Amino acid sequence: MTRLEELLAGEIEKGSFPGGVALVGGVEGVTDLAAAGFAVRDPEEIAVSVDTLYDLASLTKPLVCGALVAAALPALDLKSSPARYLPEWKATRYDGITLESLLTHTSGLPAWYPLYARGEGAAAYRRTLGSIEPEAKPGERVIYSDLNFLLFGDLLELHLSAPLDTAFAKLVGQPAGSAAAFLPGRSPRVAATERGDVTERRMTAEMGLSYPRFRDGVVWGEVHDGNAFRRGGVAGNAGLFASARDVWSLARPWLDPARAEMTRDRTGELSEARGLAWQGGRGAGSAAASMPASAFGHTGFTGTSLWIDSEAGRIAVLLTNRIHPQARPIDFNGVRKRFHEAVWS
């Protein structure tokens, strides 16, 4: 067995996830690739392959929104307010935030909110976002929040005059040679996630809210994230599906030193390092201690991870469906860290 095969097999035996794909590569190509376990355990058993498509969850943030920012600069003014694109935003308590504060999670928006509980779709989401009580003043704290990128995805659509999935395919996916896409549909090639909206149903109830249309069956071929799902499956915070090779293809342009300005630490006085749509190693629970300070990456709730070391020209991808058929109470950042320690040792 290769090093990556041993790592996957060990984590599957521990019950960390039912199956996964691990990849290590660089600008020239993929150097190590392994797959093990099951992509689906319920309602049937389907083995993982190196071509299995995973719900990337929050990897959508840098791979879609971050990449579209790179494509749109300098025409996109990151110091401007969302009100530049959304005039109604001037009347909200978030009028003082900037596009950059959304990308660095310093806007003050709370970590999560079931927007669909107060109306579904992009327009309803924006109205709700503007009315939510902030948890901090802009720039005061890093509060990692899906809400930042739900809004930012809308702003990109307005700036680019195109749906997010269309803009991504044309400006990012196709030039990178990646088949990553939204809305894959249910098929044996797609890894399943949670059985029903169990996690979000619980979180919504804990907030004293209700919603009558939570999913009950296994989520398979559609995005797990509830806000993204009820926005049509295409959103700035989640919704992208891809194989490990697809992720490597999308990550490769980020090895270019010209993109260092986007990935540098812009929150040096705060609790964790954040670049534009990316997380740095400082304060990141999934980063390996042996990574250089310039390394950057992101994780996804479904069990995904991507870290990039531009100094060494190294890309590490770990794709799992750790919440299938149900979420397990384990330290998954510990799983990611063990993978990264093995890659960077």
CATH code of the domain in which 174 resides: 3.40.710.10
Residue 289 forms part of a structural domain: yes
Whether residue 290 lies inside any domain: the answer is: yes
Q: Region 159-183: what's the mean pLDDT?
A: 98
Average pLDDT, the chain: 96
Alpha carbon distance 90, 220 (integer Å): 39
pLDDT tens profile 92-114: 888 889 999 999 999 999 999 99
Domain that holds residue 334: 3-69+170-344
Flag whether 124 is in a domain: no
Give the chain's domain count.
Answer: 1
pLDDT tens readout for residues 15-28? 999 999 999 999 99
- Is the residue at 209 inside a domain? yes
Dist CA 35 CA 184 (whole Å): 20
Residue 126 lies in a domain: no
pTM: 0.97
Residue 85, in any domain of the structure? no
At 42, list the tokens.
């319920």
- The runs of H, that is alpha helices, within the chain are 3-14, 60, 67-72, 99-103, 122-131, 146-160, 164-168, 174-176, 198-206, 226-229, 244-251, 260-263, 332-344
The tokens describing 18, both together, are 């039912």
**277: helix, strand or coil:** coil
**Rg for the chain, CA atoms, rounded:** 19
Query: Taking Cα atoms as reference points, which of 265, 230, 266 lies closest to residue 146?
Result: 230
Confidence check: pLDDT of 162 > 90:
yes
Higher pLDDT among residues 196 and 90, named by residue: 196
In a domain, 125, yes or no: no
User: DSSP label at 333?
Assistant: H
pLDDT digits (tens, 9 = 90+) for 283-340: 888 998 999 999 999 999 999 999 999 999 999 999 999 999 999 889 999 999 999 9
Give domain status of residue 163, yes or no. Answer: no
